[in-house]
Every structure is written in structure tokens, then in C-alpha cells.
Chains A and B, each alone.
Chain A
């Protein structure tokens, strides 16, 4: 029982940290204004950590809480559709890549970064009914890969720093 309470408390804390990271990312100046959606994906550090230490269910739960809180606080229901699609596709494919055992956490994170962008572009193509915007994916594949490497290394650093914390 005590263990469960501790675990829940930690997950709540993780959601708060993910939310703060979302906010920090909003404060950062855009890297390339020509293409919408280029992001480092800082909250994914938390999601990777949870995926490796807690599993996909808890990672998904924290992801949902973060998305809901971001929408409530910085509100834009339209953007929620995009972020949800990105987050869902990203987490699903990361879990799959982790399970298949072909890649390290860095490779999993690269898949997460690229899939996050792909999810958003697919929704944009559907919602705006404009296939042409698919060409943004060229730049977003590169930015997703680079960001994925960075986020993956951060995730490893976090996992390493937290290795003695028991839940």
C-alpha cells in the first residue's frame, strides 16, 4: 500500500515536471520560424524515463495529464488535437521500439521525436485537407532525429541519476 502511494505521488510529480518542461519549451525562441512545429520535445525526457522505469501505462497516463493541463493553462483546443496525435503516435512507436529490442534508449527517443512530428503533420493534412503540407515532414524528420538524440541522452542521464531511487 505504502509502495503504491509512493508510486502515485511520484507519477504526479513527474506530470508536474513534464508540464513545467512544456512551459519552458514555450518560452524558448523558435529555432526555425519557416517550419511550424520544430520542437526539442523536452517533456519527452520525462516520458522516456517513465517508459523505462514504470512502463507504457504510466507513461501514457502522465502524458494525458500533461496534455490536459497544458490545454487548460495555455488553452487552445485546436492545438490539443495536434499535440495529442503527436504524443500518442510517439509513445506507441517508442514502446514498440523498446520492446523489439533493436535500439537503445537513444534510438527509441529518435523514433519518438520523428513520430511526434509525423503525427502532427498527418493530423494537419487531414484537418486542413491539404496534402502539400506533407513537405514540412522533410525538415521535421531532420529536426526530430536531432532532437531525439539530445532527448535520449538527457533521458539516460535522468535514468542514471535516479537509479538508486526505489518506487
Chain B
């Protein structure tokens, strides 16, 4: 495969013009134009959502621990602490709250995505550990707690 790409690269921009091009749609300028439109629309949508997200976020007050969608604990962000969260099947994640931010320091999950996640402190930000069905999310003190699917 690695070899196929450079060889396929053309002198005249005709890489996409190949046999089977009919089926692949790569001989059709209209289809390639649609590809570009699709990609641009997706990127613009993401940019707009990102902008909206950045504009509306505020510093939170609590780190809420949800296991399997159920809140099991919440910790105030203004108090430094370190807790070991134990989930079903012997899963452990060490939640650290320091300088108003929450992060997972260590975990015994296979992917360690949670432990690699940057510290969170703003309302709605989450750290997810999929293997342990664990979510740590930031909430404001006005938040009644529990799960709000409308959010």
C-alpha cells in the first residue's frame, strides 16, 4: 500500500483518473466537487460548534463522578483531594483535584485515555473512561445533580 501511493501520483494531476474511476466516481468532476463541499461543510459545522462551546463555558464548582450513568460522588473543586474510584470488575481510577482542576492521575483500564486527558475545570467538561463506564464531569453549584439529558 505504501508503495502504491507514490506510484499512483501522476505527472498531471490524474491520480484520480484511473480504470474503475467510473465506479469510484473519481472521473467525475461534479462528484469530486461534492466531496470538497462535504468536507468543508463538516469542518465549518465543527468550527461553529467549537466557537459556541468556547463562548458559553464557565468555571465549575464540582467534579461529579458518574458510574454507569449514576452519580456516586461529587467533590468541590476548591478543595485539593485525591480519591480512588472503584468501578465494577475491579476497575480503579485515581481522581485528583488540585488548583481548582480535576484530572485522572492513574487508572488500570486498558486504554488509559482517561489518565491522558488534560485537567478539566469548566462546566460540562468531562473525562470519560469507557472501559470502566466512568464519567467525571464538571458541574456548577446551581446544578441539581444527577443526569440532565437536556443539557
Contact = CB atoms under 8 A, between A and B. Distances in A.
Q: Label chain A's interface by main secondary structure.
A: helix
B135 A104 contact: no
B80 interface: no
A52 B42 CA distance: 24
B66 A102 contact: no
A106 B42 contact: no
Contact of B130 (A34, A78, A105): A78
A141 B49 CA distance: 11
* Interface range for B: 35 or more
B1 A157 contact: yes
A50 interface: no
B24 interface: yes
B98 interface: no
Contacts of A127: 68-69, 133
B31 A128 contact: no
A133 B110 CA distance: 20
B45 interface: yes
Contacts of A142: 42-43, 46
B8 interface: yes
Contact of B126 (A110, A133, A137, A158): A133
B99 interface: no
B144 interface: no
A137 B53 CA distance: 12
B127 to A, nearest CB: 9
B16 interface: yes
**Most chain A C-beta atoms within 10 Å of own C-beta, residue among B35, B113, B124, B128:** B35
B60 to A, nearest CB: 11
A158 B68 CA distance: 42
Interface string A21-34: 00000000010011
A163 B19 contact: yes
A103 B110 CA distance: 38
Interface string B34-72: 110011001101100110010000000000001011100
Interface string A95-114: 00000011111111011001
Interface in B99-151: 110-111, 113, 116-118, 124, 126, 128, 130-131, 133, 135, 137, 147-151
Contact of B124 (A129, A135, A144, A154): A135
A104 B128 contact: no
B137 A132 contact: yes
Nearest to B48: A138
> Closest 9 interchain pairs by CB?
A129-B69, A33-B116, A104-B25, A107-B35, A36-B113, A105-B24, A157-B4, A104-B31, A141-B46
8 contacts: A103-B25, A105-B26, A129-B69, A130-B137, A132-B124, A138-B53, A156-B8, A158-B1
